[in-house]
Structure 1
Amino acid sequence: MRPSDDELSRALHDPPDPPLHPLPQAVADLLCALAAPPRLAAHLRAVHDVARQLVTWAEGHCAGLAVDREAVLFGAATHDIGKVVHPAELSGPGSLHEEAGRELLVAHGIAPELARFAATHAMWTDPGVTLEDLLVSTADKVWKNKRVPALEDLVVARLTEATGRPRWEEFLAFDELLEDLGAGADHRLAYQASFTTTRPAP
């Protein structure tokens, strides 16, 4: 049985415990227009919430850090939107959703510099990767308490460059943040799992 729009609406708007920030309204509207699977909406909301905490910490930790907060939040909120096109990747591995997501966003009028996150969130070693890309990628890992040292090292390098503090100091500060964020993973995973992977009925 296909879920109703009510389940998608709950994933987008209901306050879970512990609370998660809602997605940007434009993203929520797009997910509704696409009849996105409720579990995808719940996942995007969880990663977006973690990205908000990451970028807020980064701004407070390093006042001189040049980071586009809104780009990070939009990127986290849409990074897996290509799974509307490739729903099997909601419950199994695959990377087809990455380029499909970028194309889907551009087709719906999203600027390429924002749509890119759908394609770049798993490509943090590519040349030209930005701090915004790295933060979206980190949020997409740490929301479920997955630690990727190579990715984290890239973020630490950017922090060290921006602050001028010793690398070990930046490493310890960032590691403490990720430990704190990872502590909420079980709640986020349970929240995501409470929604179906099936798209709402038309």
Structure 2
Amino acid sequence: MTPTDLLAQALDTPGEPRLRPLPSAVSELLRSLGAPPRPAAHLRAVHDVAVDLVDWVRDRRPELAVDRDGVLFGAATHDVGRILHPEELTGPGSAHEDAGRDLLLSHGFAPARARSAATHADWGSPAVTVEDLLVSTADKVWKDKRVAGLEDRLVAAPADAGRRAPWEEYLALDDLLTRLGGDAAARLAFQSAFPVRA
């Protein structure tokens, strides 16, 4: 099977659980870059979780203005810089963050769309938005990783918008993240079915 075929499978195979497709602009970008299949599968798994997270916020707190498309684009591209830093596909590193933002900017995406590539690991910064926090949370919970400080920051915005105690929002978020975490093994298996490099 050719690298192009493997990338197409990572982007188009329904997967188990059924993974939603990436935004078409992202799929086209990954194809044009000849992205390795495993990072593409990872982006798709994180994007799928982000759909549930952002819809949860919208349904629970419609009065909270959240850029749904921005969250989904951010989740779909948060690790795109790893294409330029393949050493970070299998090991630690943060060079992919700024590289990803710069890559998206160089392909004509607006700074607001390129933002998550650089901010997805910096959720502790005072400058992060609720959109950044949703992308960061999706990037953790897709594999059933829970980060208390991140979740605390995420529940603050809906709690403030709904004038409810943060613990009430946390209980609702905890239910959602527990449910999403239940499919983590299947998402990890989907990602692992693809080679790290083309």
Counterparts in 2 of 1:99-178, with a 5 A limit?
99-178=98-177
1:41 paired residue number: 40
Question: 2:3 and 2:115 mapped to 1: Cα distance?
Answer: 30
* Residue of structure 1 equivalent to 2:5: 6
Once residues 4 and 153 of structure 1 are traced to their aligned partners in structure 2, the CA distance between those partners, rounded to angstroms, is 41
Distance 1:25 1:34 in 2: 14
Q: Is the 8 A contact 2:141 2:177 kept in 1?
A: yes
The corresponding residue for 1:186 is: 185
Q: After TM superposition, give the deviation of residue 127 of structure 1 in Å.
A: 2.3
The one-letter code sitting in structure 2 at the alignment partner of 1:108 is H
The range that moved more, 104-113 or 86-95, is: 86-95
Structure 1 residue 171: Cα displacement: 1.0
Cα-to-partner distance string for 1:137-181 (whole Å, 9 max, x where unaligned) = 000000000000000000111111011112211110111111011
Report the Cα distance in structure 1 between the residues aligned to 2:183 and 2:2, rounded to whole angstroms: 27
The structure 1 segments of at least 4 consecutive aligned residues displaced by more than 3 Å after TM superposition are none
Write the letter of the residue equivalent to 2:91: G
How many correspondences in the alignment? Answer: 198
Cα deviation code 1:38-80 (max 9, x no counterpart): 0011000000000000001111111211100000000000000
Q: CA deviation at 1:4?
A: 2.3
Q: Is the 8 A contact 1:38 1:195 kept in 2?
A: yes
Q: Secondary structure at the match of 1:59?
A: helix
Percent identity over the alignment? 59
Q: Which runs of 5+ in 2 are unaligned?
A: none
Give RMSD over aligned pairs. Answer: 1.0
Q: Which amino acid aligns with 2:12?
A: H
Cα shift readout 1:7-43 (whole Å, capped 9, x = no counterpart) = 0000001111220000011100000010000001100
State the secondary structure of the residue aligned to 2:104: helix
Contact 1:3–1:196 (CA under 8 A) maintained in structure 2:
no
Whole-Å Cα distance in 2 between the matches of residues 127 and 113 of structure 1? 17
Please list the CA deviations of residues 85-136 of structure 1 after superposition, one character each: whole Å capped at 9, or x if unmatched: 0012111111110000000000000101110110000011112210000000
Match for residue 55 of structure 1? 54
Q: Which runs of 5+ in 1 are unaligned?
A: none
Task: Give the distance between the partners of 1:193 and 1:109, measured in 2 at CA.
Answer: 31
TM-score between the two structures when normalised by the length of structure 2: 0.98
